[in-house]
Amino acid sequence: MNIPYTVEERPDTGLTNGKLGIWLFLASEVMLFGALFSTYIILRTGAPEWPHGELNILLGAINTVILITSSVTMVMAWASLKLKDWAKHRLYLIATFVLAGVFLVNKYFEYKDHFDKGEGPWHSTFTAIYFTLTGLHGLHILGGMIVMLYLIGPGARLWKKNPDQFANRIEATGLYWHFVDLVWIFLFPVLYLL
Amino acid sequence: MHSDSAEVKKSIRTYMMIGLALLAFTGITVAANQFHFGVPVAVAVALIIATMKGSMVASVFMHLSHEKKWVYGALILTVLGFLILMTVPSFTNADSIGQPVPAIGGAPAGGHSGH
Amino acid sequence: MDKTGIHPGGEGVQAVAHGHDPHHEELGFWRKYVFSVDHKVIGIQYAFTGLLFLLFGFTLMMIMRWQLAYPGRPIPLIGLWLGQARAPMGIMLPEFYNQLGAMHGTIMVFMGVVPLAVGGFGNFVMPLQIGAPDMAFPKLNMMSYWVYFVGGVTMLASFFMRGGAAQSGWTSYPPLAVISDGQTMWLIGMIFLITSSLLGSINFIVTIVQLRAKGLSYMRLPFFVWAQFVTSFLLLLAFPPLEAAGVLQLMDRVAGTSFFMPSGLVVSGKVLTISGNGNPLLWQHLFWFLAHPEVYVLILPAMGIVAEIIANNTRKPLWGYKALVYSVTFLGFMSFIVWAHHMFMTGMGTTMSAFFQTTTMIISIPSVVILTALLLSLWGASIRFTTPMLFALAFLPMFGIGGLTGLPLGLAPSDIHLHDTYYVIGHFHYVVAPGTIFALFAGIYYWFPKATGRKMNELLGAIHFWGSFICINIVFMPMFIQGLAGMNRRMYDGGAQYAHNAGLPLKLNLVIGMAAWTLGLFQIPFIINFFTSIFWGKTVDRNPWEATTLEWSTPSPPGHGNFLTEPIVYRAPYEYSVPGAAKDFSPQFEPEKA
C-alpha cells in the first residue's frame, strides 16, 4: 500500500511525512534533555558547594571540535547526494561515522579516568548529573552511528531504487545528528566550564 | 526546497563558513573561561555564546531558516515548554515558606532559597 | 450503486479490488493478525490489551476494597492462593495493600485508559475519519504497540518479583520510592510505556497534518480528530521529562546516585551512605509536569467520542463547533502551566501558589465551555437513546461533578484541608471512571459495527449501562463525605487508626465495597455481549447509525487501504437535519447532487 507524501511533499504543508516526523521527534528530545538541564539547575542551586576543575576541559573542547566537524561532514554528505556525487556522499557519511566513533572513544577514556579515581555517579550530585547528561548524549551518538551504519551498508541500496527517498533519509539523519551536536554545544560549557 | 543544484553549491560555501565560525566560537568560549567572572556574568556569557552557536547549527545546517510553518509552530511550542521546564521548578523551589529542617548528618538538605 | 460514489462490495478483511497496489501479496497469519502494520489491526490489538488491563486493574481495586470493608478478614476465593508474602492466612499485609494501590493506578492510567482511548480508538477511527489509507508510519505504529506490550508485561511481572510490585503509589515519590521494593520494574516498565506513547504521538500528528483527504480542512475535522490531535501534542512534549525522571530514579536505586535523595536520611535505624544533596521535590516537578497534561490525555479523547455520539444521536449539528476547537486547543496550552497544584502542600510560598491557583482556575474555563457546548447540543434535539447515547449522556453530569469537585482542590486554601484525602480520590475517579471510561464504553458500542460488521445487543447494553451507572455513583459519591471528614488516602486500615474517621466515614467503606463488587458483576453482561456479538450479532451495512463522518463510507469492516476510491469531503462534519435535504443527515463524503 502506498502512503502519500512519503517522498513527494504535500502541497499545502510543503512537507514530507518523514520531515515533519523527524522534527516532532527532535521536539520531544528537546524536552527530554530539557528535563535533565532543569535537574542540573535545581541540583546546582541547591548544593552547598559545586566542584570545579574535576573535568578535563581540553578533552571536552577536542570533542566539541570533533562533533562540529562531524556536523559539517554530515551536511556535506547530504549536499553531495543532492549534487548526485555518490562518491563524495560516501566519503562524507563514513567520515561522520568515524568522527562519531572518535568522540565515543574520548568519552570512554574520560569516564575511565573518573571511575579509576572513584568518582562514579554515586560520588556527588555533580558527577551524577555529569554522567547522566553525557551518558544519555553518548547513547544518542551511538544511536546515530547505528543509523549511519545502516545507511552506509544495506540501506544504501535504496539510492538505486528510490533516490529521492534515500536523500530524504539522509536529510532526516542529518537533522538528528545536528541536534545531537546542538545538545553538546550546550552541554560542554555548562558542565565543563561553568 | 534545496533540490536545485546551483543553490546547493552556494550552500556548501555557507556550510564551510559556519563550520569555521563554530570552531572559532568554541575557542572563544574556552578562552572566556580563563576570566573569572562572577557567577551571573559567567553563566550569561556561556549561554549567549552557546545560543549563538546553536542558532547557527539550527538555521544553517538544519535548514531551519527556510523551514515550513508546521515545523516552526511545533518548535515554538517546544521552546515554550522548554523555558517553562527551566524556570518554573526553580522559581517554585525558591519561593519557599521557610527553611527545611536541618538533616542529622549536618549538611542542610537541598533546596533552600537564595544561593 | 450507492450515492457515495464509492464502489460497493469489498466487505471483509481482504478486499478483492485493489486499484492501486498490484504488488500486494497475501500475508501469512502472523503478518496479518499479530505483526500487522494495518492501523485497524493495531487499533484492535491496543483495544483488547487495554480492556484486559482495565479488567485486571479493576480486580486489584476489588481486592483492596475487601480490606477496607472488612479489615483483617481473610480474602475470599483467592486469599490463600496469594501466598505468605502477600496475605498470610488470606489476610492482606499492608505491603500488599500498597502494591495493589500503586499498581491499580498505574495500570488503569498507563496500561488501560490511554492505550484504549488513544492507541485503540485513535488508531482505528482517526485515519478512517480523515480519509487516509493508514497512518503515516505504519511500521512505527506496529512497533509502538509491541513496545507498549513489553512495558505492560514488565509491569505485570513485577508482582512476581521478590518484594512484590511497586508500592509507593502511582506517583512514586522519593525518597520512599527509592528505598522501597518493586520500584525498579515499575521504572523500567514506564520507560517502555512512555516510549510507546511518544512514537505513537509523532505518528498521529503527522497523519492528521499530512494525510487528510481532499476537501477536509482543519475546521471540517470531526471533533474526535481535534481531540486526538491536541492529545498527541500533550503526549509528545510532556512525556519526555517523566522518561528522564524515571531514568534518574532508576539511577538513584541501582547506581547509588542522589538525584532525589536528601542528605542525612536514616532508613531502619541506619544512616544511608549516599552522597546526598538531592531534592525530592525535583521528582515531583518532573512527574507532575507530565502527569498533569496526562489527565487531559485521559479526558480529551473521551470528549471527542462523546461529541461524535451526541451529534449522531441528536440528529443535529454540534452546538459551537468553533468554540469546541478553540477550547480544546487553549486547554492543551494551559495544561503545561498548572502542574504544581498537585504540590500546594510541599512548602510552596504564596507567590507560586497564587500563580498555579490562577492558571488552574483559568484552565477550568475551556472545560466548562466544552461541557456546555455538548449540553447545549441536546437542546431541541430528536434524541435516540441507543446504548452509545446512554453512556454519552451520562458522561455529561458525571464529568460535571468531577470537574466541579476539582475546584476546591485547585484553590490552595481549601486544598490544605482536602489534599491527600478521599475527596481527591472521589474527584479524579468521577472524571476518569464515570467520565472517561463511560465514554470509552460508548465508543465501543458505537464503533463496534464498523470494526466487525455486526451490532452489539441493545438489551445487554442497557443492563450494562444502568447497573454500572447506579453502582459507580454509590462507589464514588461517599468518598467526598469521607474526604471532607479528613479521611486520608492510601491507608491500609481504611482510616480506622484516626478518631476523626469513626462513625459514618468508616461505615461508608462497607457501602463502597458492596457497590464496587456489584459494579464488577455488571461488567459481565458487557463481556458476554462483546464476544457473542462478534459471532452472532445482527449484521449491518456500512452506515448503521446513519452518521455523517468519513469512517461510515467504508465497508464494515474496512478492507486493506480503507477506501476503494479516493475519499473527497464536501461539507462540515455534523450536517444533520439540513433544511430542504432529502434525509436527516448529509454525510461529509456525499457530493451535492447524486
Pick the residue from chain A with its C-alpha nearest to C132: A3
Contact state of C348 with B70 under an 8 Å Cβ cutoff = no
Residue matched to cell numbers 515519590: C173
Residues of A in contact with B68 (CB under 8 A): 13-15
B105 at interface of C, judged by CB pairs closer than 8 A: yes
The tally of domains found in chain C comes to 1
Nearest CB to A31 within list C203, C237, C247: C237
Residues of B in contact with A68 (CB under 8 A): 19, 22-23, 26
Q: How many CB atoms lie within 10 A of CB C579?
A: 4
pLDDT average, residue stretch A88-112 = 97
CATH architecture classification, A17-193: Up-down Bundle (1.20)
User: Predicted confidence band at B39 (pLDDT cuts at 50, 70, 90)?
Assistant: confident
Pick the residue from chain C with its C-alpha nearest to B93: C348
Structure confidence at residue C33 (pLDDT): 87
Structure confidence at residue B34 (pLDDT): 85
Nearest CB to A189 within list B46, B68, B94: B46
User: Predicted confidence band at B9 (pLDDT cuts at 50, 70, 90)?
Assistant: confident
CB within 8 Å of chain B, chain C residues 332-351: 336-337, 340, 343, 347-351
* pLDDT at B112 exceeding the cut of 60: no
CB within 8 Å of chain C, chain B residues 41-80: 70, 74, 77-78, 80
Give chain B's mean pLDDT: 84
Phi, psi of C223 (to 5 degrees): -60, -30
Weakly modelled stretches of chain C, pLDDT under 50: 1-22, 594
Residue C21 lies in a domain: no
Structure confidence at residue B102 (pLDDT): 67
Residue matched to cell numbers 521494593: C181
Distance, CA of C442 to CA of A182 (rounded, Å) = 47
Structure confidence at residue B114 (pLDDT): 39
Instruction: Please report the DSSP string for C198-242 in residue order.
Output: HHHHHHHHHHHHH-PPBT--GGGS-HHHHHHHHHHHHHHHHHHHH
Instruction: Please report the DSSP string for C296-310 in residue order.
Output: HHHHHHHHHHHHHHH
C-alpha cell read off for A165:
527517498
Contact state of C263 with B103 under an 8 Å Cβ cutoff = yes
Structure confidence at residue C472 (pLDDT): 98
Residues of A in contact with C286 (CB under 8 A): 35, 38-39
Residue matched to cell numbers 547530504: A78
Query: How many residues does this entry show for chain A?
Result: 194
Contact state of B103 with C352 under an 8 Å Cβ cutoff = no
C-alpha cell read off for A107:
568519552
Nearest to C102 by CA among C33, C206, C20, C189: C189
Structure confidence at residue C238 (pLDDT): 96
CATH code of residue C493: 1.20.210.10
Alpha carbon distance, N-terminus to C-terminus of chain B: 49
Q: How far is A2 from chain B (nearest CA, A)?
A: 23
Amino acid at A191: L
Contact state of C347 with B96 under an 8 Å Cβ cutoff = yes
A27 at interface of B, judged by CB pairs closer than 8 A: yes
Distance, CA of C45 to CA of C28 (rounded, Å) = 17
Residue C359 lies in a domain: yes
C296-333 per-position pLDDT tens digit: 999 999 999 999 999 999 999 999 999 999 999 999 99
Contact state of B30 with A74 under an 8 Å Cβ cutoff = no
C349-397 per-position pLDDT tens digit: 999 999 999 999 999 999 999 999 999 999 999 999 999 999 999 999 9
Residues of C in contact with A121 (CB under 8 A): 251, 255-257
Contact state of C251 with A121 under an 8 Å Cβ cutoff = yes
B87 at interface of C, judged by CB pairs closer than 8 A: no
Distance, CA of C574 to CA of C220 (rounded, Å) = 9
Structure confidence at residue A109 (pLDDT): 96
pLDDT average, residue stretch A141-169 = 95
Residues of A in contact with B40 (CB under 8 A): none
CB within 8 Å of chain C, chain A residues 69-128: 120-125, 128
Residue ranges of the domains in chain A? 17-193
Contact state of B97 with C279 under an 8 Å Cβ cutoff = no
DSSP letter at C573? Answer: T
Beta bridge partners of residue C267, listed in sequence order: C270
Contact state of A43 with C238 under an 8 Å Cβ cutoff = no
Residue C591 lies in a domain: no
Structure confidence at residue C593 (pLDDT): 63
SS3 state at C196: helix
Nearest CB to C245 within list A2, A35, A48: A35
Residues of C in contact with B106 (CB under 8 A): 263-264
Contact state of A30 with B11 under an 8 Å Cβ cutoff = no
Structure confidence at residue C16 (pLDDT): 34
Interface test with B, best of C208, C237, C334, C344 (most B CBs within 10 A): C237
Neighbours of chain C (3+ CB pairs under 8 A): A, B
Contact state of A1 with C561 under an 8 Å Cβ cutoff = yes
Distance, CA of A180 to CA of A177 (rounded, Å) = 5
C375 at interface of A, judged by CB pairs closer than 8 A: no
Q: How far is B104 from chain A (nearest CA, A)?
A: 16
pLDDT average, residue stretch B60-82 = 93
Distance, CA of C467 to CA of C40 (rounded, Å) = 31
- What range does the domain containing C291 cover? 32-259+278-553
Structure confidence at residue C10 (pLDDT): 35
Structure confidence at residue C26 (pLDDT): 78
Residue C254 lies in a domain: yes
| Segment (H or E) for C514 | helix C504-521
CB within 8 Å of chain A, chain B residues 84-103: 85-86, 89-90, 93-94
CB within 8 Å of chain A, chain B residues 61-80: 61-62, 67-71, 74-75, 77-79
pLDDT average, residue stretch B14-38 = 91
SS3 state at C271: strand
pLDDT average, residue stretch A7-29 = 96
